[in-house]
Structure 1
Amino acid sequence: MMPSATSELDRRIVAALMIDGRAPWRKIAAALDVPDRTVTRRGTALLESGAVGIHALADPHRTGRGDPFVVTLSCAPAVVWATGATIARRPETVTAYVVSGRAQCLADMWCPEGRQAQLFLHELGATPGVTELEVAPVLRYIQTLTTWDPGILTPAEAEALRVGDPITTWPVFSEPVRLDREDRALLRGLAEDGRRTFEELGRLAGVSEQTAARRVDALRSTGIVTLRAVVDPRVLGLPVAALLRLRIRPPAVETVAGALTASPYVRYAAMVMGEHQIIADVRLPTKDALRHLLTGAEWTEHVEAMESSLILDVLKQSEVLAASLQ
């Protein structure tokens, strides 16, 4: 549920949390030039409302969860939501949407190589309600919640909040790393609440507060763990949600990818194999803005075919289940 009144300050606070989800309220207040008490009150209300939550996500590739796939599913009309909920609850699922159009569910999933045939050919296909299944391996993530900038803060404000170098690529496709018991416990604690104190995290992991701080800083600085502000985009003034599937001439794929990265409306985008080369989740202020994006953006001249759908329901985002599924 969103706060009763979403103000411009609310949007600026959320944008600040998107840069550093663990930033103290006083640091956010200083960056935005707003009184500490006001930021603390409004920021706390946003977190308590569930409109924004701070959650850690480990790099799935480097922590051995396997390779990424975008899975689209067609379902029997009467069971679309129930089928989508079943997919969302699977441990392999990072994000799951119910959308309009011929494929009513979309999921971003991670699966190790040894389980891919079992998952895609047997388990998902046998899910009650699924009538058709398409699996598109992800070649590269163009945009994720970690790198999305909705353009709300000035460059100076963003720089005042940033910790370390900005993350430009996530996840990183490299050799897996091994997390020990303490690091896994810290990750679980941060996944539940990314703003937990180091004292709380230390108790969960059985280490001192200082050790917890040092380990969390190391996990974040290497990009193995990222803290994501999982945001209801309506709070940011972006209530229109759409999913785009783009078929692009191969020489122009990177050009379109670059244009999508630069757009404040593109919340998520992936370069994939299959019939379409790019899948993108866009969030906009109005349907007129969506119409302009689909017909007037310069990158559309490189698009041979486009399928667009409204996102009707978000069942899971960055491994966080919707409240209706918890």
Structure 2
Amino acid sequence: MLDEVDRGLVHALHVDGRAPFSRIADVLGVSTQTVARRYRRLRAHAGLRVVGLAERDRAGLSSWVVRLTTTPTASQAVAHSLARRADTSWVKLTSGGTEIFAVVQAPHDADASRSLLLHDIPRRGGITAVSAHLMLHTYLGGPTTWRGRLRALTPAQQERLAPPAVPPGGHAPPPADADRRLIEALGQDGRASYSVLAAATGWSQATVARRLTGLRASGALFFDVEIDTAVYGVTTQALLWMSIAPAHLEDVASALATHDELAVVAATTGPTNLLAQALCASPADLYHYLTCKLSALEQIGAIETAPVLRTVKAAGTLPGGRPPR
């Protein structure tokens, strides 16, 4: 479990993933050495990682929610195969280990389910069903994260850490092809030094700093924080697939986005049109959420609950991740 300094550090990285340790230390009232030591410990023992991610609309990408049903013996191999792809994120084993959930990034004009079927999937036996649904709108998730991580810092402390604000109404061009090498490097380590990023892009450190500042200021790039939710007392995760009449979808999704138990709320295509991820302290807490808090929203017509057994891949690229062939 995390202490006050650990929680403050993780919250600070959510405010600015590249904030210097010295600035975080000043806000937390501890030494720079303490912050650096805690960061290294959390990386080693809790999977802490900052990752830089492209804002999908500006990058010309669509997100597809993919569900694969497998035989129990095939699920691990298929999940790890998907996780190695550079275009996947949030690869999870669900429903007793016989279903795989993944989010696939694809160009706006591409069909993610067709892409997967034509590449990695046919090479694996044991696949019994595949479905893919376009993610239409995100109400919670992406640049906005689970509130369980955001309770350590006061508004004044957050203001001291906040990076320069995105200009209102700005419409900067999407990232250029040359920027993609920078974003890919940040997808593996969002706190990589300018020298490491220069080596990855072939640019000078000054050019890296200028382009990174421009991408952040335009909103084309944001930073996410990965960490094992177990250190926050989460033992039970579930994906919730809900059906809501279109006339009520906006109201229900907006209401769910305020629930502290949820880390993701997104509208999708398909037989269920609203997806959420619940993070709870125990199965009893999940039951209480489903039967008390969620059931109060009468507009929810049906719900499927898929327990998450394991997260194989989170938001960032795995080391050695490759693009689809």
- TM superposition score normalised by structure 2: 0.84
Report Cα offsets for 1:138-188 as digits up to 9, x if no partner: 111122242113342333333322213389xxxxxx99725143x233223
CA deviation digits over 1:57-94, x for unaligned, max 9? 12334334x32211111111221222222222233322
The alignment partner of 1:294 has SS state of helix
> Residue 34 of structure 1: SS of its match in structure 2?
coil
Structure 2 residue 45 is matched with structure 1 residue 49:
yes
**Is the counterpart of residue 255 in structure 1 residue 251 in structure 2?**
yes
TM alignment of 1:55-94, pairs within 5 A: 55-64=51-60, 66-94=61-89
Q: Aligned pair in 2 of structure 1 residues 277, 18: CA closer, same or farther (>3 Å)?
A: same
Deviates more, 1:147-156 or 1:19-28: 147-156
- The alignment status of 1:22 with 2:18, answered yes or no, reads yes
Residue among 134, 137, 146 paired with 1:137: 134
8 Å CA contact retained: 1:28, 1:161: yes
What is the aligned partner in structure 2 of residue 107 from structure 1? 102
User: Who is 1:97 aligned against?
Assistant: 92
Which digits, 9 at most, give the CA deviation of each residue in 1:95-136, with x for residues without a partner? Answer: 211001696111111223554273256457635321012221
Q: Which runs of 4+ in 1 moved over 4 A?
A: 120-125
Q: Which residue of 2 aligns with 1:152?
A: 151
Match in the other structure for 1:170 = none
Q: Tell me, in whole angstroms, the C-alpha distance in 1 between the residues paired with 2:100 and 2:158.
A: 35
Please, which of 5, 8, 11 is the counterpart of residue 4 of structure 2? 8
Instruction: List aligned pairs for 1:1-326, cutoff 5 A.
Output: 6-49=2-45, 51-64=47-60, 66-100=61-95, 104-112=99-107, 115-116=110-111, 118-119=114-115, 122-123=118-119, 126=122, 128=124, 129-148=126-145, 149-150=147-148, 151-153=150-152, 154-165=154-165, 177-181=174-178, 183-297=179-293, 300-321=297-318
Decide whether the 8 Å contact of 1:136 with 1:273 is kept in 2: yes
Measure the CA separation in 2 of the matches of 1:267 and 1:166: 24
How has the CA–CA distance of structure 1 residues 127 and 216 changed in structure 2, closer, same or farther, with 3 Å as cutoff? same
Q: CA deviation at 1:221?
A: 1.4
Moved more, 115-124 or 226-235: 115-124
Consecutive unaligned residues of structure 2, counting only runs of 5 or more, are 321-325
Percent of pairs identical after alignment? 30
- 1:222-265: CA deviation from partner (whole Å, max 9, x where unpaired): 12121211221122332321111111222221122112222233
* Distance in 1 separating the partners of 2:184 and 2:121: 30
Task: Give the residue type in structure 1 aligned to 2:107.
Answer: P
In the aligned structure 2, how far is the partner of 1:33 from the partner of 1:291?
Answer: 40
Name the stretch that deviates more: 299-308 or 66-75: 299-308
Q: CA RMSD in A?
A: 3.0
SS of the counterpart of 1:255?
helix
TM-score, L = length of structure 1: 0.84
Distance 1:108 1:253 in 2: 21
